[in-house]
Amino acid sequence: MYTTSFPVDRLKDIPTPFYYYDLDLLRHTINTMKAEADKDSYHIHFAVKANNNPRILGIIAEAGLGADCVSGGEIRMALEAGIPASRIVFAGVGKDDWEIELALDSRIFCLNVESAAEMKVINDIARRKGLTAPIALRINPDIDAHTHDKITTGRKETKFGINIGLISDAMELVKESANLKLTGIHAHLGSQITDLDVFRALAERFNDIQDFFEDEGLPLQHINFGGGLGVDYVEPDNCIPDFAGYFNIFRQGTEARPGQSLHFELGRSIVAQCGTLIAKTIYVKEGETKNFAVINAGFTELIRPAMYDAWHHIRNISSKLPPEDYDVVGPLCESSDVFGTDRSINGITRGDLIAIQTAGAYGEVMASQYNARPLPKSYFSDSI
């Protein structure tokens, strides 16, 4: 149990809204995760899309993690943070030519390819450069992740990965492509997965798939299971995810070959807990049936509730008054600009600081300037 506490005396003078990162909690989460992953020398590539704040990436790099990137921009950020190219993987259904060139020129570990069309382009670009491109086939294993529809990626009707029925064709294409070297297979089922059986199904599906590759004379040096481990949004103090349970599933379920490396692309489970969006209450608006706490952050700062119906714990860190029910809403001219409804929160008055917790993943990175709002700044526990 790690109890989150906020240094209100130091936070209260910072212009709101802003992201506050508890770096001790980040390091504690990384160390807990690594202790489990290191037992089997698993390779962890932090999913940069979850948080690309340079300070956070620096700590990830220091801890020796690799990076999972989905754009040329993310590859650059990972390299700048000090993550070696040899630990970078690159996924995405729509890699543009310049991004493929950057990946090849940087000599990253592997490109996770998602279609025959993409394989042909990578092969052409690699040939032009006189290089061999290391690739993994991203397979769409057709497994339901039992998570929100908008963050489900491993069902066959989604745009991601190569469908199981098309793997044979993809293998033929690999064999014909002189400038591609197939080093592994990859999948990513979705995000905020809390039903760990989903990962067991993936390990089993990959056992069959790897037999199939070996029968075709294509042994695999690595297997990449993607990311997706969910976090507890409801109880932020119980905030270290069950890394042991998660890795155990792969330890028990995967028929790894001697010398083969197993890779994971965790994003949310590493950074969600350490980040909090702090906003100030502008008004407490009394309605006929509800009280609204109108704060100075909106979905421009944290889009997850509006976009995925996400639930974040909301606290009033300025008040010890008895709790009352509020809808906590932002200032934007959109009815989806709501952080939580009917929340029991310590009595709110104008000026109180409101903490929206577990916002370190897909929070700051997804901020926008809609309504001509400035992007939020970030502050860190060791330097405020």
Residues that bind ligand LLP (CB under 6 A): 47, 49-50, 68, 91, 151, 188, 191-192, 226-229, 265-269, 304, 308, 361-362
As measured in angstroms, the least distance from the Cβ of 265 to ligand LLP is 4
As measured in angstroms, the least distance from the Cβ of 10 to ligand LLP is 28
As measured in angstroms, the least distance from the Cβ of 258 to ligand LLP is 26
As measured in angstroms, the least distance from the Cβ of 138 to ligand LLP is 7
- CB closer to ligand LLP, 51 vs 254: 51
- CB closer to ligand LLP, 17 vs 92: 92
As measured in angstroms, the least distance from the Cβ of 74 to ligand LLP is 11
- CB closer to ligand LLP, 18 vs 299: 299
As measured in angstroms, the least distance from the Cβ of 274 to ligand LLP is 14
- CB closer to ligand LLP, 309 vs 382: 309
- CB closer to ligand LLP, 71 vs 210: 71
- CB closer to ligand LLP, 17 vs 267: 267
Q: Output the 3-class SS for the chain.
A: CCCCCCCHHHHCCCCCCEEEECHHHHHHHHHHHHHHHHCCCCEEEEEHHHCCCHHHHHHHHHCCCEEEECCHHHHHHHHHCCCCHHHEEECCCCCCHHHHHHHHHHCCCEEEECCHHHHHHHHHHHHHHCCCEEEEEEEECCCCCCCCHHHECCCCCCCCCEEHHHHHHHHHHHHHCCCEEEEEEECCCECCECCCHHHHHHHHHHHHHHHHHHHCCCCCCEEECCCCECCCCCCCCCCCCCHHHHHHHHHHHCCCCCCCEEEECCCHHHHCCCEEEEEEEEEEEECCCCEEEEECCCCCCCCHHHHHCCCCCEEECCCCCCEEEEEEECCCCCCCCEEEEEEEEECCCCCCEEEECCCCCCCHHHCCCHHHCCCCEEEECCCC
As measured in angstroms, the least distance from the Cβ of 176 to ligand LLP is 26
- CB closer to ligand LLP, 280 vs 304: 304
